[in-house]
């Protein structure tokens, strides 16, 4: 655990099944600007949870994850981000789970985490609009929906660059 972890923001992501993680991480490695690509592929649920509530957050994640079944995910289409490209994630159960977490942590949420939630995996970002449009068009031409699973939740310490794992919370097996 990092020193003075209470001052370090926490990030919450989904744990994807290995097959889907590998597919999206490879796309990210191929298309994300290398100098800015310090993270593996991920689906963020919350961008900045308060580190001074780490114990409460972990306890609630343990409580909520244990009865939650593995979530079926569909990756139906690409999303043009203006300066990048993402893959959309479709899962009504994920939206419900995130809503339950947001209600629990409402008073702690940042402005970004209070916005409407549209889950996605960013595979390219911080490039020119032309570069992003070119990749979007290239991938869009042959995109086929993919299916996978979320196996749990991952809590991370945000330290300005690569994240450090703070906890893993598995969903119950299907």
Six token digits for residue 121: 């995996």
pLDDT value at 4 more than 90: no
User: Within the chain, how many helices (H) and strands (E) appear?
Assistant: 5, 8
CA distance 4 to 149: 34
Share of the chain above pLDDT 70, in %: 96
Phi, psi (degrees; rounded to nearest 5) at 84: -175, -175
Full-model pTM: 0.93
Based on C-alpha coordinates, what's the Rg of the chain? 16
Which pLDDT score, from 0 to 100, does residue 5 have? 55
Where does the pLDDT of residue 170 fall: very low under 50, low under 70, confident under 90, or very high at 90 and above? very high
Query: In this structure, are residues 5 and 152 in contact, taking their beta carbons and an 8 Å threshold?
Result: no
Where does the pLDDT of residue 2 fall: very low under 50, low under 70, confident under 90, or very high at 90 and above? very low
Query: In this structure, are residues 81 and 122 in contact, taking their beta carbons and an 8 Å threshold?
Result: yes
CA distance 164 to 63: 22
Provide mean pLDDT across the span 67-71: 96
Condensed to tens digits (0 to 9), the pLDDT of residues 87-133 reads 999 999 999 999 999 999 999 999 999 999 999 999 999 999 999 99
Query: In this structure, are residues 125 and 81 in contact, taking their beta carbons and an 8 Å threshold?
Result: yes
Residues 6+ apart with CB under 8 A from 52: 6, 7
Tell me the average pLDDT of the chain.
Answer: 94
Residue 134 to residues 80, 127, 128, 131, 143, Cα–Cα distance (Å): 10, 11, 10, 5, 14
Residue ranges per domain, the chain? 5-168
Q: Which CATH superfamily is domain 5-168 in?
A: Cyclic phosphodiesterase (3.90.1140.10)
Where does the pLDDT of residue 174 fall: very low under 50, low under 70, confident under 90, or very high at 90 and above? very low
Strands across the sheet containing 78-80? 78-80, 85-88, 120-124
CA distance 150 to 95: 12
């Amino acid at each position: 655990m990092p020193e003075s972890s209470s001052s370090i923001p926490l990030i919450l992501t989904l744990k994807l099944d290995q097959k889907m993680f590998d597919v999206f991480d490879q796309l990210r490695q191929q298309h994300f600007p290398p100098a800015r690509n310090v993270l593996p592929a991920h689906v963020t649920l919350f961008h900045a949870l308060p580190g001074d509530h780490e114990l409460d957050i972990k306890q609630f994640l343990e409580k909520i994850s244990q009865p939650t079944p593995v979530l079926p995910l569909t990756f139906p289409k690409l999303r043009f981000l203006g300066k990048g490209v993402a893959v959309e994630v479709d899962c009504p159960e994920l939206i419900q789970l995130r809503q339950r977490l947001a209600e629990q942590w409402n008073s702690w949420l940042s402005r970004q985490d209070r916005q409407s939630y549209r889950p996605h995996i960013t595979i390219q970002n911080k490039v020119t609009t032309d570069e992003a449009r070119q990749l979007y068009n290239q991938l869009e031409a042959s995109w086929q929906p993919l299916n996978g699973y979320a196996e749990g939740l991952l809590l991370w310490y945000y330290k300005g660059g690569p994240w450090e794992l703070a906890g893993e919370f598995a969903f119950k097996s299907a």
